[in-house]
């Protein structure tokens, strides 16, 4: 039987040739995609939080707070807690007439006595109790939209601070509970003058949770916010307003870059140079951005951020050249 090939059919030899070209075409396309090209950087990477470790820390805090119901704290430790509450009340009132030196001295004396009579573990328990009450007050505020004297006694001008930097919208607080817990503990340590005590130091995953929030919610620096607010009152045109908005954005990027540097000092696993490159690019400091990306590429020629870094480096170099 004679086999015939229609005019529309390809010959076996031609089909084999086409099939043989497919790998070369695929390699060419993929290779092109893998070549560095100028790309504007995306978001700053967030630190990786060990959710299980963080959950265990928070559960331990809650357990310590609950244990106080069965075994109350000593009078000395309760006195230290009361001194902290008084100081926070003055802070919330923001009154120039408040007896700040006396309130500060009262905390120092009460904490010193409590630690001498007890141990730092008693202060950890006190902080856990006040943390549990703080979280309860925050949840109540989120439900009602109304602050309380108890929240002020536990956290001072917390709500005012949140509103000032744009982290409070009505009754919605931008911070998630993990970041809130970490932020409270840091403030409590500073108020009690125990921020250098290892027993009260935040664990790495608590700090990662807090910095995750900071890096994803940057705000203009305090000095910039005050200056921008004054300038907006005298802005006369849309161009003036747009320039002020851009100034606020750049200030927020500077603030975020400062947090990147702080995180880099405490988290050895954080891709600091890569994040620094993105942050500097977003702050319109293109030469610094290029140097950061180059540093990351030299230390990590392969890996998750290798091609992105090369793409971002090309964009940073292009912008740096354009600025000259």
pLDDT digits (tens, 9 = 90+) for 236-281: 899 988 888 899 999 999 999 999 999 999 999 999 999 999 999 9
- Residue 14: the pLDDT is 55
pTM: 0.85
Percentage with pLDDT > 90 across the chain: 75
Residues 6+ apart with CB under 8 A from 173: 138, 141, 142, 162, 167, 180
**pLDDT band at residue 7, thresholds of 50, 70 and 90?**
very low
CA-nearest of 77, 57, 181 to 122 is 77
CA-nearest of 212, 222, 203 to 263 is 212
Per-residue pLDDT tens for 42-82? 999 999 999 999 999 999 999 999 999 899 999 999 999 99
**Residue-by-residue DSSP string for 15-45:** HHHHHHHHHHHHHHHHHHHHS-------PPP
Angle in degrees, CA 288, 291, 295, rounded to 5: 140
pLDDT tops 80 at residue 2 = no
Q: Are 159 and 167 in contact (CB under 8 A)?
A: no
Six-digit token pair at 105?
């001295």
Angle in degrees, CA 185, 134, 165, rounded to 5: 70
Residues 6+ apart with CB under 8 A from 82: 110
Least reliable range by pLDDT among 120-124, 222-226, 249-253: 222-226
Per-residue pLDDT tens for 83-118? 999 999 999 999 888 999 999 999 999 999 999 998
Q: Are 68 and 125 in contact (CB under 8 A)?
A: yes
pLDDT tops 50 at residue 21 = no
pLDDT tops 90 at residue 19 = no
pLDDT tops 70 at residue 127 = yes
Average pLDDT, the chain: 89
CA distance 288 to 295: 11
Please, is 167 exposed, middle or buried when counting C-beta atoms within 10 Å of its C-beta (0-12, 13-18, 19+)? middle
Domain boundaries along the sequence of the chain: 51-199, 218-269, 271-324
Q: At what angle do helices 222-232 and 238-266 cross, to 10 degrees?
A: 170
Q: What is the mean pLDDT of residues 137-147?
A: 96
Backbone angles phi, psi at 79, to 5 degrees: -65, -40
**pLDDT band at residue 307, thresholds of 50, 70 and 90?**
very high
- Residue 119: the pLDDT is 87
Residue carrying structure tokens 């500073």: 190
Least reliable range by pLDDT among 28-37, 94-103, 150-159: 28-37
Q: What is the mean pLDDT of residues 169-192?
A: 97
Question: H-helix or E-strand containing 173?
Answer: strand 172-173
């Amino acid at each position: 039987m004679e086999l015939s090939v229609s005019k529309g059919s390809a010959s076996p030899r031609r089909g084999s040739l086409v099939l043989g070209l497919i790998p070369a075409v695929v390699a060419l396309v993929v290779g092109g995609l893998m070549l560095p090209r100028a790309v504007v950087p995306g978001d700053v990477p967030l630190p990786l939080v060990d959710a299980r470790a963080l959950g265990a820390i928070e559960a331990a805090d809650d357990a310590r707070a609950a244990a106080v119901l069965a075994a109350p704290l000593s009078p000395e430790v309760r006195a230290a807690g009361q001194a902290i509450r008084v100081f926070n009340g003055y802070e919330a009132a923001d009154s120039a007439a408040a007896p700040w030196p006396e309130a500060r001295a009262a905390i120092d004396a009460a904490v010193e006595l409590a630690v001498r009579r007890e141990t730092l573990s008693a202060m950890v328990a006190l902080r856990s109790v006040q943390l549990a009450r703080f979280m309860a007050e925050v949840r109540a505020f989120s439900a009602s939209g109304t602050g309380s004297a108890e929240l002020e006694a536990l956290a001072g001008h917390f709500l005012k601070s949140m509103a000032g930097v744009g982290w409070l919208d009505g009754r919605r607080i931008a911070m998630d509970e993990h970041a809130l817990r970490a932020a409270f503990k840091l403030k409590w340590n500073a108020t009690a003058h125990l921020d250098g005590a290892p027993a009260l130091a935040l664990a790495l995953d608590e700090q990662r949770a807090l910095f995750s929030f900071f890096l994803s919610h940057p705000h203009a620096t305090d000095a910039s916010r005050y200056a921008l607010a004054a300038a907006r009152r005298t802005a006369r045109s849309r161009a003036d307003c747009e320039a002020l908005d851009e100034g606020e954005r750049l200030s927020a990027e500077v603030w975020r870059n400062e947090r990147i540097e702080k995180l880099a000092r405490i988290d050895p696993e954080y891709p600091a140079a890569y994040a620094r490159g993105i942050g500097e690019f977003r702050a319109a400091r293109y030469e610094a951005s290029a140097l950061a990306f180059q540093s990351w590429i030299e230390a990590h020629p392969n890996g998750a951020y290798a091609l992105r870094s090369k793409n971002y480096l090309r964009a940073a170099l292009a912008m740096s050249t354009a600025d000259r």
